Amino acid sequence: MADSSSLHVTAIVAAGGSGRRLGSAVPKQLLELGGQPILRRSVEAFLRHPRVTEVIVAVPAALAESPPDWLQGARVVPGGPTRQASVANGFEAVSERSDIVLVHDAARPFVTAGIISRAIDGALAHGAAIPAVPVSDTVKRVADGNSTHVIVETLPRERIYLAQTPQAFRRAILGEAVALGRRGVEATDEAALAEHAGHRVHIVNGEPSNVKITTAADLESARARTDRADGSTATARIGVGYDLHRLVEGRLLILGGVTVPSDRGALGHSDADVVCHAVTDAILGAGRAGDIGQHFPDTDARWKDASSLALLRAAVAIVSARGWIVENVDVVGVLERPRLAPFRPAIEEQLARALEVADEAVSVKAKTNEGVDAVGRGEAVAAHAVVLLSRRPDRPTTD
Whether 1 shows a pLDDT value over 60: the answer reads: no
Rg (CA), the chain: 24
The CATH architecture one would assign to domain 4-226 is: Alpha-Beta Complex (3.90)
The domain ranges of the chain are: 4-226, 236-391
CATH number of 236-391: 3.30.1330.50
Specify the pTM: 0.58
Domains 4-226 and 236-391 share a fold: no
Cβ contact 346:352 at 8 Å = no
Give the model's pLDDT for residue 293.
Answer: 87
Q: Under 8 Å CB-to-CB from 242, ≥6 apart: which residues?
A: 278, 281, 382, 383, 384, 385
Q: Given this model, what pLDDT does residue 393 score?
A: 61
**DSSP secondary structure string for all residues of 90-136:** HHHTS-TT-SEEEEEETT-TT--HHHHHHHHHHHHHHSEEEEEEE--
Candidates 19, 169, 179; CA nearest to 88 is 179
What is the sign, positive or negative, of the torsion defined by CA atoms of 34, 39, 42, 43?
Answer: negative
Nearest to 84 by CA among 11, 14, 141, 160: 14
pLDDT at 3: 52
Q: Output the CA angle 131-326-314, nearest 5 degrees.
A: 105
**Mean pLDDT of the region 277-281:** 96
Q: What distance in Å separates the CA atoms of residue 75 and residue 352, rounded to the nearest whole number?
A: 36
- Summarize pLDDT for 69-121 with one digit per residue, the tens: 899 899 999 999 898 999 999 999 999 999 999 999 999 999 999 999 999 99
User: Mean pLDDT, the chain, as a whole number?
Assistant: 88
Residue 221: which of 25, 14, 33 has the closest Cα?
33
